[in-house]
Structure 1
Amino acid sequence: MNQQEKTKNNNVKLKPHSKKIIISFQLGNLVWFMINQGFRMRVLGYYQEVLGLTPLLFTIAFGIFTVYNMFNDPIIGHFSDRSSRFVKRWGKRFPFIMMGAIPLSIMPFFIFTNPFIGSQLLIFVWMVIFMLLFDTFFSLMDVNRWALFPKKFVKDDERKLAGFIEAILDTIGIALGFLIPMIILDPDIGFGDTLVGYSLQGFVLSLISFILVILMIPGVKEPKEVRERQIQLDRFEYSNIIEDLKFASKNKNFLGYLILFVCYSITMGGIMGLMAWFADDVIGWTGIMGEAAFLGYLIFVPITAPIWYKVSNKIGVRKVMLIGAAFLAVSGIPLLFAPAGLGGFILTFIVASLAGMVDGAIESMNLPVFSSIVDKTALDNKKREEGLYRGVVVFFQRTSYFIWVFLLFIVQLITGYEHGTTDPLGILGLKIYMSVFPLIIMSIGTIAFWKLYTISQEELEQNIIDLEKIDL
């Protein structure tokens, strides 16, 4: 179909969306952040300490998980972009979102209810199988939900509002994924680090996730005008996945965004995954009291998100993202000098609070920046392939799991650090992991984004107008 025909067939006008619909859509983020937080923060303790899986097998499991992602995420994104089977009745993305979201919601229970006790091999196999299922269902939901976003919410003000709501719901998700396991696994008021405790916290996370997935349905449904518009878009010829990946690899704006968010995922994954051990071994406070040192992060992300939302309207999404990334890079340095006891608790709480303030900028600008990239790409390439781009992002973000686990393995190998140690060298290794590594990794991401992502606020807004003119 040539450009004139596409314009001629543009009879479909998208309606503005209510805040309720935007909130419902963004519940998908809440589900993911809650499940992911519970997974990242507790999977290490459950498999290494409770089940006794060796650090080497644990690292290999995440290596397999990463290799699987090399094929899973981009392929799901590519074939979701090409699929038109359900468009007329259900929409292009909605069926895939629900195919992933419902089984994803029950994954925490199975991951933390490993029935094989005493067998390293069977524990390892169960862990790998359910991590791969976990990733597959997440990819189905996430790739298609993100691909739907720039098509359903086309106005810049809607996208910024969605980004603001995302930052708040992300934080609520992190809080639930942080607090629910912390309370259930607390040795004084809960079940402690036991098989029953881990299974119960997995069940509670799964139950809440399932309820939220049901509430997400109105937001991710594709209304009639979106389905009709998609039918027109599906008439275009799609290229093969190799050509698409080559095109993506040459997209400087996309590469800048990709590098930043891989670095961000490594940083936050490592910090969130080791919070409990930092509280135990550096601060010296176990259970709820020690882990409460990180609550400042959860408090200040939703408080500052509205501020960043307003700032973005004045200086643009690019500058807000750069400010957040640069300050997050340096925010953890004081943890290198954290003492034990009350002083360490106060210092950690302050650092976590500062990190929350600047992370609100990154969280709230994530969707607007991604949408600006797929908009510009659609103009350059004359087709929309949000699913493929999100699939590539998810793949590289998933490598962050392996990278932070591998970095921990290196720290353990060099310094001899183990959870519960009092050895000064081991404690120093943990402090370096929580402070110096984030500085280096986030600095790389920030510089890459600054150099490669060059879409100005004016260009972003003009691209939206141009896409409407050519019905993309």
Structure 2
Amino acid sequence: MHKKDNNIDIANDRNENIPTERISTMFSFGMGDFIYEVFNGIFGAFFFLYWETEVKLDIWIVTLAYVIFAIWNSANDPLIGYLTDRPNRFWKKYGKRFPMVMIGTVPAILTLAAIFSPPFLDPVQGAWIYFAWILITTCSYELFFTLSSLNHYALYPEKFKTDRQRRRAGGIRMALALVGTAIGFIVPPLLIEYENRASYTNMVWIFVIFNLIFFLSLIPGHRESNYLKKRYMKEKEEQKEQISFWDSIRIVLRHKNFLVVILIFFLDSIIGVSLTASVQYVAKYVLEAEAETSIYILAGFILGALISLGPWLFFSEKINDNRRMLIIGVFLNTIFLLPFMFANDLFWLVIAAVLLGIGGGALRIGRNPVMADAIDEATLNSKRHLEGAFMGVYTFFNRFALIAQGIIFAVVHELTGFNANLPNQTELAKFGIRLHTALIPMILTLIGLIIFFRVYDLFPEKTAKIKQKLKELKL
């Protein structure tokens, strides 16, 4: 018999109730990934372009503010993860993750818009006022974004327990994330105009309206079932002593598989943030075209990912090996950066983007199950559910990709003579744009992939044993 409980079906498995989430719930849950990708598209693609080439603020002041923001970004993630994992009497009524997603998302929408809405000042005389504006708005945005997204990601391994659920939910999440990427990358260039900074401000406030509507659609999928709430309260009762923040961090850092997952995702994030920010520079300075031109490059990436999603999902089910799937994805997503170094016109840049999208599709099919496997192993070893702490540490290190990207941009622009006040750049400056678009992130990630291949040992047989032991321990 099956009985319904808050949008879940309960299936009997060895006399244990195992929640099986509905497809509709998976879609609603995936709307979290959708809206975060919209956020990431706007912030990642336009932050440096806006402040360096539209506001005309000195690149080193922009980079200094960006690095401080990234340090804050890194520091607040494990802290929020720890605080949201602390036992709380409100879990029984409201759940553990759902309230945090609700509290964080709307302020994140508003503070993202504020980043692109500074007063009009002279960029030299008002440089440090702009510096303060960047710090306050970006740090506020990051606080609320983390509160929402960290709890969304931490809920995934708690809500979807089997490989089948995780792959299916992961595929839906990827599809919706790609749609969010499409909207976040393709729509803004239609609303902005190079050398017209007011158009950027208008664009972000238009997105405020739509993001608030998107927010409503993610609410049902993040509600926690009575099954989860009861488990949370049972853990609260059994946890006699509250684990300290630093103890939770030490538990996380003892697991080599989790750490090497962090490494490879950190390096992949350098690819993501560098490419996202670089595309507008490629369109404006390498192709010397209008903002709308970037749409074709980004559309190529999204097209490649979308057409490959089904085949990669089928392939993943066929091989039933999350480790191998991720290795294939990271390799393809990295090696397909190379064509960006040589493509000289829009046609070949679009072809390169399609290839990169195909590689990215494989990576994104593999990444969520691998992360869940690593957390499962750590949960078994520690005998505790510390998903928030794990995601906090993951995000802490992942955010260093922002620091790396900011430093790469500043150093490359300085060494190659990039000048934001010139409409046309030298050939050396254009080569520098290609470097931070493709070659530098590619080399770094290939090194990380070799390390991952040698260290990560969660093969299918081992993950199956871990899941069985977690069931036996009712974890």
Change over 3 Å in CA distance of 1:422–1:57 after alignment to 2: closer
Q: Which moved more, 1:19-28 or 1:241-250?
A: 241-250
Structure 1 residues 415 and 321, CA gap change in structure 2 (3 angstroms): same
The residue aligned with 2:161 is: 154
Give the CA deviation at 1:290: 4.7
Distance 2:214 2:349 in 1: 32
> Which digits, 9 at most, give the CA deviation of each residue in 1:94-145, with x for residues without a partner?
1111111121122232111112522212211111111011111111112211
Partner of 1:260: 264
1:292 Cα deviation (Å)? 1.4
TM-score by length of 1: 0.92
Q: Which residue is 1:215 aligned to?
A: 217
Equivalence for 2:372: 371
Distance 2:316 2:236 in 1: 34
AA matched with 1:47: W
Query: Can you list the C-alpha shifts for 1:149-182, whole angstroms capped at 9, x where unaligned?
Result: 1111111111001111121111111111112210
Amino acid at match of 2:131: F
Provide the rounded CA distance (Å) in 2 between the counterparts of 1:130 and 1:177. Answer: 19
Provide closer, same or farther for how the CA distance between residues 290 and 37 of structure 1 changes in structure 2, counting only shifts above 3 A.
closer
d(CA) in 1 for partners of 2:442, 2:284: 23
Per-residue CA distance 1:20-40 (angstroms, 9 max, x = gap): 101101111111111111111
**Counterpart amino acid of residue 127 in structure 1:** I
Report what 1:345 is aligned to.
346
C-alpha contact 2:49 2:277 (8 A) present in aligned 1? no
1:457 aligns with 2:457: no
Identity within the alignment, %: 26
CA distance in structure 2 between the aligned counterparts of 1:276 and 1:53, rounded to whole angstroms: 17
In the alignment, what sits opposite 1:319?
Answer: 324
Distance 2:406 2:75 in 1: 21
Query: 2:451 matched to 1:444?
Result: no
User: Which structure 2 residues correspond to residues 59-458 of structure 1 after superposition, within 5 A?
Assistant: 59-118=63-122, 119-186=126-193, 192-235=194-237, 236=239, 237-315=241-319, 316-339=321-344, 344-419=345-420, 420-458=423-461
Alignment partners' CA distance in 1, 2:93 and 2:18: 18
CA displacement at 1:294 relative to structure 2? 3.3
1:195 Cα shift? Answer: 3.5
CA contact (8 A) 2:167 2:369 kept: yes
Question: What is the TM-score with the length of structure 2 in the denominator?
Answer: 0.92
Q: What code does the residue aligned with 1:185 have? A: I
CA distance 1:313–1:458, shift in 2 (3 Å): farther
Contact 1:108 1:205 survives alignment (8 Å):
no
Alignment check: 8 A CA contact 2:112 2:138 kept: no
- Separation (CA, whole Å) in 2 of partners of 1:301 and 1:162: 17
Q: Which amino acid aligns with 1:91?
A: G
CA contact 2:185–2:298 (8 Å) conserved in 1: no
Q: Distance in 1 between matches of 2:105 and 2:316?
A: 31
Q: Does structure 2 retain, via aligned residues, the 8 Å contact 1:321–1:362?
A: yes
Secondary structure at the aligned position of 1:124 is classed as helix
Contact preservation (8 Å) 1:105, 1:207: no
C-alpha contact (below 8 Å) 1:14/1:226 kept by paired residues: no
CA deviations over 1:298-350 (Å, ceiling 9, x no partner): 112122122211111222111111011112221121222222xxxx2121111
Please say if residues 290 and 345 of structure 1, whose CA atoms lie closer than 8 Å, have aligned partners that are also in contact: no
Measure, in 1, the Cα distance between the counterparts of 2:429 and 2:132: 30
Per-residue CA deviations over 1:252-283 (Å, capped at 9, x if unaligned) read 11111100111011111001101011122222
Name the aligned partner's letter for residue 442 of structure 2.
L
Q: Letter of the 1:374 partner, please give it.
A: I
Post-superposition shift, 1:63? 1.5
Asked if the contact 2:82/2:388 (under 8 Å) is kept, the reply is yes
**CA distance 1:295–1:238, change in 2 (3 Å):** same
What is the distance in 1 between the residues matched to 2:21 and 2:76?
A: 32
Amino acid at match of 1:333: L
Amino acid corresponding to residue 358 of structure 1 in structure 2: G
The Cα of 1:193 is off from its aligned counterpart by 4.0
Q: Is the 8 A contact 1:26 1:216 kept in 2?
A: yes
Equivalent pair of 1:92/1:230 in contact (CA under 8 Å): yes
Distance 1:178 1:220 in 2: 26
CA contact (8 A) 1:35 1:205 kept: no
Q: Distance in 1 between matches of 2:156 and 2:298?
A: 32
Q: Counterpart of 1:434 in structure 2: which amino acid?
A: T
Deviation per CA, 1:328-386, whole angstroms, max 9, x where unpaired?
221121222222xxxx2121111110110010111122221111111111111111101
Between the aligned partners of 1:53 and 1:403, the Cα distance in structure 2 is 20
Partner AA of 1:469 in structure 2 = E
Q: Distance in 2 between matches of 1:424 and 1:82?
A: 55
Q: Quick one: structure 1 residues 322 and 94, their matched pair in 2 at CA, closer, same or farther if it must change by over 3 Å? A: same
- Post-superposition Cα deviations, 1:32-82, rounded to whole Å, max 9, x if no partner, equal 111111111111122122222111110111111122134211011011111
Aligned residues: 454
Query: 287-296 or 218-227, which moves further after superposition?
Result: 287-296
Contact 2:59 2:410 in 1 (8 A): yes
The SS at the match of 1:15 is: strand
- Contact 2:167–2:365 under 8 Å retained in 1: yes
Q: Indicate conservation of the 8 Å contact 1:143/1:390, yes or no.
A: yes
Tell me the secondary structure at the aligned position of residue 88 of structure 1.
helix
Please tell me the residue identity of whatever aligns with 2:357: G
d(CA) in 2 for partners of 1:39, 1:414: 25
Unaligned runs of 5+ in 1: 1-9, 187-191
